[in-house]
Amino acid sequence: MPDSARGSFIVSAAVCLSFAVGCGTPGNVIDRYFLKSPGPPKTSPADLGLVYEDVRFPSLNGYQLAGWFVPAAGGEPLATVLVHTGMQGNLDTYLPMVPWAASDFNVLIYSWQGFGASEGESDFSNFEPDTRAAVEYLLSRPGADRGIIQLGASLGAVPAMAAAANYPDQTIGLILYGGAFLEDIPSMWLATQITPLLWPIGRVGDHVWAAILPDFFDAHRYLDSIRVPILAVTAEDDETVPVPAQMALYGALPEPKQLYLTYGGHLHAVETDGELAGVVVEWAKAVVVGRPAQR
């Protein structure tokens, strides 16, 4: 069982053990197991030959968030891509995504509280103020009037959906890479990665997981408010976020939407699929230039 694929199994096990041995509230157990950062990034966009700016801006609760702002290399940006990262790793993990857009778009990528060089503590309750702070910071910079494409990777897919729903006038597109309804992951992971016989046990984990996570992570609440074109990227061999869970989210997303199926494991395609970058960039350009019909 790959380390990166253990998450959904640990959800159910950790929560149950927390009650059994009194090691803390379920929410604390979830935070402890899942929100892990290896520390400040050891690389930067400069290692990819990109000009960039180290940025700091306050979350809504006052802690400073760290990120990178990469201006469009081609001059005037078509728009800005705001990258909402996942729940493990730091900016290094998501750095390969930056060159996708950097030739024609500004890119802002940031770390959640307690991740990388950001202040504060890792806690699921901080994702909402951090998401809003990132959008507000971006809107304070020159060029924001050209529009924002929200890009959410893994767990960051839900914050990206929230940003698109809460900032409809500023958001022009939404990219979801490896995203899913979070409450579906435990049961679908057990059923697809181990045996379908464990699906009923996983459903218990689904309900507990949904009850513990803040309402901010309920992706259903954003579906009716998203009014921009959507690109969903799913890896057929994703061992962390089950493909059925990703497809359930895709099926519920409003039109206009497009699905790109890639290969490899969770988020691996950013480095292994030579066509993925072109697909994302061409879609983003079409959003800006052609502006596919909105709802």
pLDDT of residue 223: 97
Q: How far apart are CA 237 and CA 79, in angstroms?
A: 32
Task: Kindly report each contact of residues 188-191 with a partner whose C-beta sits within 8 Å and lies 24 or more positions away, as own/partner.
Answer: 188/8, 188/242, 188/244, 188/245, 189/5, 189/7, 189/8, 189/9, 189/240, 189/242, 189/245, 190/8, 190/9, 191/242, 191/244
Asked if residue 4 has pLDDT above 90, the reply is: no
pLDDT confidence tier of residue 120, bands split at 50, 70 and 90: very high
Structure tokens of 83? 């990258």
pLDDT of residue 13: 45
pLDDT of residue 174: 98
Q: What is the mean pLDDT of residues 2-11?
A: 45
Q: What is the mean pLDDT of residues 11-35?
A: 46
Q: Tokens 């988020």 label which residue? A: 267
pLDDT of residue 97: 81
Q: Among candidates 192, 186, 179, which has minimal Cα distance to 239?
A: 192
222 is a domain residue: yes
208 is a domain residue: no
Residues above pLDDT 90, as percent of the chain:
45
Q: Whole-number mean pLDDT of the chain? A: 81
61 is a domain residue: yes
Q: How far apart are CA 187 and CA 199, in angstroms?
A: 5
Q: How many domains does the chain have?
A: 1
83 is a domain residue: yes
Of residues 116 and 162, more confidence is placed in: 162
Asked if residue 193 has pLDDT above 70, the reply is: no
pLDDT of residue 186: 57
Whether the CB-CB separation of 23 and 78 falls below 8 Å is answered with no
Amino acid, single-letter form, for residue 224? D
19 is a domain residue: no
- What pTM was computed for the model? 0.82
Q: What is the mean pLDDT of residues 18-34?
A: 46
135 is a domain residue: yes
pLDDT confidence tier of residue 148, bands split at 50, 70 and 90: very high
For strands 171-177 and 230-235, give the pairing: parallel
Per-residue pLDDT tens for 210-268?
667 788 888 999 999 999 999 999 888 777 788 888 899 999 999 999 999 988 777 76
CATH for 265: 3.40.50.1820
Q: How far apart are CA 233 and CA 227, in angstroms?
A: 19
Per-residue pLDDT tens for 59-101?
999 999 999 999 998 788 999 999 999 876 778 888 888 887 7
Give residue 265's domain range. 43-186+216-289
pLDDT of residue 255: 96
pLDDT confidence tier of residue 295, bands split at 50, 70 and 90: very low
Residues above pLDDT 70, as percent of the chain:
73
Asked if residue 152 has pLDDT above 90, the reply is: yes
pLDDT of residue 5: 44
pLDDT confidence tier of residue 55, bands split at 50, 70 and 90: very high
Helix (H) or strand (E) holding 231: strand 230-235
